[in-house]
Chains A and B, each alone.
Chain A
Amino acid sequence: MILVFVEHRDGQPDVASLQTLSFARTLAAQTGDSIEAVAFGPDSLADILRDYGVSRYHSITDDQLTAYACEAWAVSLQQLTDLLRPKVLLAPGSVKGNEVMAYVGALSSLCVVTNVCQVSAGNEWRITRSSWGGGLFENVLIEQDLALLTLATNTVEASENAVDSCDTLPFTPALQTKHFRAQIKSVESSVDEGMSLKTAPIVIGGGRGVGSGEGFAVLEELGEILQAAVGGSRVTTNNGWRAHKQQIGLTGNHISPKLYIACGISGAIQHMAGCKNSETILVINTDENAPILSHADYGVIGDLHEIVPAIIEELKKS
């Protein structure tokens, strides 16, 4: 059996969890296993889980579990796993998914493989995981009876494949006070400031070539005309030219716009990790050998401080 950990918000599973269920289905097809799900959620989740191929839903309930507490969640999952003995416990590679699974690994003295992209389940289980921020794959062999895995986000699309019914089975874990020593006290919802890097159809990124914080003014002007969000590489946030919130890259925002205009950015793999899902990439760079050009669709060779104003002029004309 493959047990999938599902995260939800107000009883609606998040996209990463639905992707994880879809991934579990392809794995189940390899191994001939059934799929069961576990969540700290309401009974009503069963209806949606059924549409995604889940036949049994284990609903973990405990009065103290109203707010997220990593250790308590992990202890609950570990106790359920001990009881059900699945072959695989699979979770989304989200902030909480990775954190909880790391704890489950710690509790059961097993290894966890994070950011998994592919599983070949034969005599030996060979796992391909995303490494170097997506710049490399890493192949590992599982040599333990229970595979603890988290799925790299956007590895597969979330797709429905309904089964006839999904039973809800309540599970009450045995928890102690110390499992709640790191529990959420409150959550401040984030306020959107201007055009968001994550949702804007056009994103303009500036790198070392911008030269200074003031140098971004010309990118902002283009951004206003194109209604684009403006961000920067890690060099620009580290130098204080841009706020960290506007960083595009492995350790910043991961963007997926229709068009990404990369200005004065050489294309270190850490930067590409944050922008590789852009539909089209247009590069403005003085160096015609910049690595970013081998990831891009269009390039203009030259100084962004001459080229971007010329583009603005041209746009004003038309």
Chain B
Amino acid sequence: MEMNILVCIKQIPDVGGKIKLSDDGREIDSRNLGFTISPHEECAVEQAIQIVKAEGGSATVLTLGIADSENQLRDSLARGMNKGVLLHTENSNWNANQIAHAITASIKRMEADNGTFDLILFGVESADRGNAQVGVLVAHALDRPSVNGINGLEIEGDVALVKRDSDEGTENYELGLPAVLSVKDGMNLPRFPSLKGTVMAKKKPIEIIAVEPDDTGVRFLQFERTPEHSKQAVILGRGPEAAADVVQVLKQLELVR
């Protein structure tokens, strides 16, 4: 059956090895950084593209963030998503409930115009805050079934066959569509945007809607550095000549005799 899919992604600074904070600690100092999306969401985008390719239909990508987040929408469009929605905000210090409220309201409006999304996909947690809740909150608000952190998904008619790894092993679920699922990295191997895709993405529509956070029971104060390891590794040497010293370390640690 033709699938109407929505994937929700989040723009995050590509911090590399060290995170710099703004003076008040409320933002990541991203002046010299590029931006990306969370790995989990990359897999959600890939999954949506694969499903629409197999079943037909349409895949929309949505994000809530600052104006620059449009670049992450374009990236997903270049990979093969059909259209984009930017819920435009002044800053990114929104908590999970605020994000979920804004996304839910926007989904309800889109569905009133274009029909129900058979599948709404999220990443299991964003790579920055990692609240791991938005998918569940949206599922509840829309009164749809949901599983968090899935590792496998197959569509059979109007049923989603879902796999999720937990401590017990691999859990199997069968969810009636429409459903809300949050995807875990590793479910597929995300494609890179092609040159042709990048060119085509420029012509694909992106709707921009301004949104404001509502009041909730948790207030963000600031980020704080974790106690730095501030270790500096003992350099055993350079090149293959250091091999004997490496073996010496292995012996000291009693890992070889």
Contacts and interface: CB of A to CB of B under 8 A. Distances in A.
A110 B217 contact: yes
A5 to B, nearest CB: 15
B250 A259 contact: yes
Given A134-B226, A187-B172, A300 B17 contact: no
A182 B256 contact: no
A256 interface: no
A112 interface: yes
Interface in B156-194: 164-176, 179, 184-186, 189-190
B186 A301 contact: no
Contact of B221 (A112, A132, A140): A140
Q: Give the size category of B's interface with A.
A: 35 or more
Contact of B127 (A185, A237, A270, A309): A270
A111 B217 contact: yes
Contacts of A182: 145-147, 173, 175, 179
Nearest to B133: A102
Contacts of A302: 238-240, 242
Contact of A307 (B97, B148, B223, B243): B243
- Which of B218, B223, B244 has the most C-beta atoms of chain A within 10 angstroms of its own C-beta? B218
Contacts of B247: 311, 314-315, 318
A237 B184 CA distance: 14
A264 B1 CA distance: 46
Dominant SS at the A interface? mixed
A75 to B, nearest CB: 11
Contacts of B230: 294
Contacts of A301: 235, 237-239
B137 interface: yes
B186 A190 contact: no
Interface stretch (A37-45, A93-101, A208-216): A93-101
Contacts of A139: 220-224
A128 interface: yes
B132 A291 contact: no
Interface string B63-103: 00000000000000000000000000000000111000000
28 contacts: A102-B137, A103-B136, A111-B217, A112-B131, A114-B130, A115-B130, A137-B225, A139-B220, A140-B220, A182-B173, A184-B171, A184-B173, A187-B172, A226-B250, A226-B255, A244-B185, A258-B253, A266-B16, A268-B17, A281-B233, A290-B17, A294-B233, A297-B231, A299-B235, A306-B239, A307-B243, A314-B244, A315-B250
Interface of A: 9, 14, 68, 70-71, 94-96, 98-99, 102-103, 105-107, 110-115, 126, 128, 130-144, 181-190, 201-202, 226, 234, 237-238, 240, 244-245, 247, 250-252, 258-259, 266-270, 272, 276, 280-283, 288, 290-303, 306-307, 309-311, 313-315, 318
Interface of B: 15-19, 21, 39-40, 95-97, 127-133, 135-137, 139-141, 145-149, 164-176, 179, 184-186, 189-190, 216-226, 228-247, 249-250, 253, 255-256
